[in-house]
Each structure stands twice: as C-alpha cells, then as structure tokens.
Amino acid sequence: MSKIVITSSGNTVKSDFDLRFGRAAWFCIFDDETKETKFYENEHINANHGAGTQVAEKMLELKVTKAISGDFGPKAKELLDKFNVQMVIVQEETTVESIINKLITK
C-alpha cells in the first residue's frame, strides 16, 4: 500500500498541478491500492515561514510515502528525506489527473 501526495491548485483531479510544495493550494492524496483520492486544503499556505516543514509534517502524519511536486524547499526536503518519503519533481504544466494516469498506467 502506498499513499502518494500530489500538489494541486484545486480540490478535484481536474485541477492544475501546483508546482509549489509548502505553498501549494491543495494536496491530493492518492491511494495506490484503492485508487481513491482525497483532497486536503493547505492550512499553512499563508504561514510567514516554515510552511514547507509544516506541510512535510502533515504528509508524514498522513503516512505518505511519495510526494510529487514542482519543487521542495530545503527544510521539506530534509524532513521527507529523513523519513524515506520519495520526492518526485515534475516541472511541467499539467493536471492532477494526468499525473495519476501516469501512475496508474505504469
């Protein structure tokens, strides 16, 4: 079982992929086994600092094992790395759905 977070600009799979991690608008948690998606709004989006760390902590809480975003800040990177969360950087304008499709069809 594997839970994958994909940063999203909105709360549906049709939303654009958000290239930011700590300051992404939403997080799509995709369950690799059930193929279900759940969306969480980013509570730390307006944090003056430490958004990356707080979001990374939240992801660890949600037992995410893989994080897909356009970029990870140094703090988030360090934390995710420490807890063996695989980081995937995609620097492409795409949608959450098309990323999920790539994950499914592999």
Which of 13, 53, 66, 76 is the binder for another protein (CB under 8 A)? 66
Cα separation, 87 vs 13, in Å, equals: 20
Which of 37, 85, 95, 96 is the binder for another protein (CB under 8 A)? 85
Kindly state the smallest distance separating residue 6's Cβ from another protein, in Å. 10
Phi and psi at 65, nearest 5°, equal -110, -10
Ranges assigned E (strand) in 1-106: 3-8, 26-31, 37-41, 66-69, 86-89
How many residues touch another protein under the rule CB under 8 A: the total is: 28
HSE toward the beta carbon, residue 56, CA cutoff 13 A:
21
Of residues 23 through 42, those in contact with another protein by CB under 8 A are 24
- Residues making contact with another protein (CB under 8 A): 9, 16-20, 24, 65-66, 68, 70-71, 77, 81, 84-93, 99, 102-103, 106
